[in-house]
Structure 1
């Protein structure tokens, strides 16, 4: 700041000039005091806002935070209905008695059936170490190998007898490694000669070099065929012949598609007048409990990637944002529960734990697993599942597919 020069008036007495200077000085001090006071107020307000924001956020999080709960049957009666709630009063239910579904949107093609079956068969493949068949393009084999460059074994070039799966023609191995195995059989010892690419990022020291692999063919994987005998041995709960199993796959997926179509329609065409707040909050809490349980199961695996793998990293967002999404999902879940409860209320139908038990047993669940579910989730939660199953069954019986 520039310093002011002192100005004097020769026509004014010295004493009068001094009085005037003192007066100006006093006025400057008063102005500075006012400025300081304003600054102090601003700082105080800023501190109050900052503290208020922090306290306000903590209060907000305390109010909005979803606390996980494993009391899955809380607010559910033993008949699977939301306790104390009449669903037909809480919603304007869609007309579920006059639904027409386009066949093209729910049918399951024969091609999809065969793809599903092939996937299942491939998952049950076995390694045949005794086969006399020669390796052909497209076969999956299991091999061991030791690789050398100029007679010296290199790092990463030895399977250590652990075996390595390889599909011939996949291009997973360098150069023409895979082609040189074609025609050989299980138990063969094969010398494979290759040249590493000029640019080999996996191990630059090997780039452009010739290598020799001593390969042992351990066996060729065999994918079973869907025969009547195979169905009886592996899928007897669903069918006794291959054709029956194909029909089972087709019907199962058709019904899954139809259930989804009807569910989406009912949700879209139904309006909720009032949500049961306690139940909706509990749905969010139990959903969070399920997510936490899955996170805990995965922690051992995730620890290999990071020593500090938090729940927020696992869900890929802040817990505050996650809780907000949980609440939105809980409202969607509650709307569905109200819809299916309203259908049973309208039809005068109720279901029980025994009904759900029979449903599970008919679909391959053991009695031991059922008892475990009852212990974990409680009666209300399990029967609530049966409410939806029964309601969809009723609606499907009234639905036209064309």
Structure 2
């Protein structure tokens, strides 16, 4: 077909061929104009959509962005209740008068008590030069050392008789230096042989070389015994004897576990029909203020240590976009609002109220000074602080009604 058409074309007069070519060119131009017009419309639409999306997102963020607020007591009355809200009208409260709590889920075991005591004793370890115990993994020891390579002492390899505290297993020293101390006792002198890493950047001249350390064990940090005397000296705010402190640990942690269990039960078995919008939004704003204030504090503190901290943004700190953070914050605010409604509803049912004086007395009993009290009320306001007492009082009421078995 193509060959036949070519033959016909060749038989046409030159003027006719040019006329046909001109018509084709005109038709091509017309088609191209239409295509360009369509493309232009598409591009315009895309630009408009793009601008619209950008503007739309800016408008969306202006509406949805949470603005940090320092007014923690806004929408909270001085009695700790959400201002203008009857909690029982907003939620279907769990049956808090007929709760059975499994003892196994809230009791604090004797093993846990002893673990806590050992942790406390470890905090009071003291260096002993008289202990006959051998060094074990995890021990903290004090040593002196002199290091050499090919018989020549190297810079930084001498403790100069000042003693050096070293925790065995911390891998603070190169190679297996620490492990070679295990089994040795106070007063012993020993030789420790190590090899510096090939990529030892602290002192490239030592990289990959074998070294010998002459080490003297000066002492081992030993934990004191848990006695009445230890309790009186270090834990007198909680107890006077070792047995009293064990009881204190058991009862305090049992109480904490019980409150945690009850709080979760109340949340899981309560439904919210309507959230107080202004209070919930304000709660999210104060939450953001707390997070942002902490970020600013950390940034200022670490700025002198690291340029990364000095140049960090709030989004770097939270590890996500601020938009995503705001969405998560709204969810957290609703969860906290639900809890506030639950505790308020319990006091509404029981006809119980909380006073500012009760709140101040509680804070004083828990270690706050008059000056700290003044600062807290100035920073957070009355409603916010008294609302915490609403929760405490509500939990006390429920604890008095539950059955633990």
Q: Same fold (TM over 0.5)?
A: yes
Tell me if 1:357 matches 2:360.
Answer: yes
8 A contact 1:302–1:309 mirrored in 2: no
Q: Distance in 1 between matches of 2:312 and 2:42?
A: 42
For 2:54, the equivalent position in structure 1 comes to 54
- 2:106 is matched with 106
Report if the CA contact (8 A) 1:195-1:208 is conserved.
no
RMSD over aligned CA atoms reads 2.9
> d(CA) in 2 for partners of 1:318 and 1:136?
54
Q: Deviations over 1:343-392 (max 9, x none)?
A: 11111101122212222232333333222221221111110110000000
Equivalence for 1:211: 212
Partner of 1:382: 385
Partner secondary structure for residue 320 of structure 1: helix
Q: How do 1:164-203 and structure 2 match up within 5 A?
A: 164-167=164-167, 174-175=176-177, 177-179=180-182, 181-184=184-187, 191-197=189-195, 202=200
User: For structure 2, which runs of at least 5 residues remain unmatched after alignment?
Assistant: none
Contact 1:196 1:207 in 2 (8 A): no
Are 2:323 and 1:320 aligned?
yes
Paired residue for 2:135? Answer: 137
Match of 1:294, SS? Answer: helix
Which deviates the most, 59-68 or 192-201? 192-201
Q: Does residue 24 of structure 1 match 2:24? A: yes
Q: Deviations over 1:154-198 (max 9, x none)?
A: 3553457775322457776525541475141xxxxx654222148
1:150 maps to 150
Q: Which residue of 1 aligns with 2:305?
A: 304
Query: For the Cα contact (< 8 Å) 1:76–1:83, is it kept in 2?
Result: yes
For residue 277 of structure 1, what is the aligned residue in structure 2? 277
Contact 1:99 1:398 in 2 (8 A): yes
Q: Is the 8 A contact 2:149 2:212 kept in 1?
A: yes
Partner of 2:74: 74
Partner of 1:41: 41
Deviation (angstroms), 1:292: 1.7
Question: Alignment partner of 1:327: what SS?
Answer: helix
TM-score, structure 1 normalization = 0.87
1:68–1:285 CA contact under 8 A, matched in 2? yes
Q: Pick closer, same or farther for the CA change 1:155–1:84 going to 2, 3 Å.
A: farther
Task: Name the count of aligned residue pairs.
Answer: 390
Q: Please say if residues 126 and 221 of structure 1, whose CA atoms lie closer than 8 Å, have aligned partners that are also in contact.
A: yes
Alignment correspondent of 2:222: 222
Q: Secondary structure at the match of 1:398?
A: coil
Structure 1 unaligned spans of 5+: 185-189
CA distance in 1, matches of 2:172, 2:25: 89
Higher deviation after alignment, 380-389 or 159-168: 159-168
Instruction: Tell me if the contact between 1:196 and 1:206 (Cα under 8 Å) persists in the aligned partners.
Output: no
Deviates more, 1:19-28 or 1:376-385: 19-28
In the alignment, what sits opposite 1:394? 397
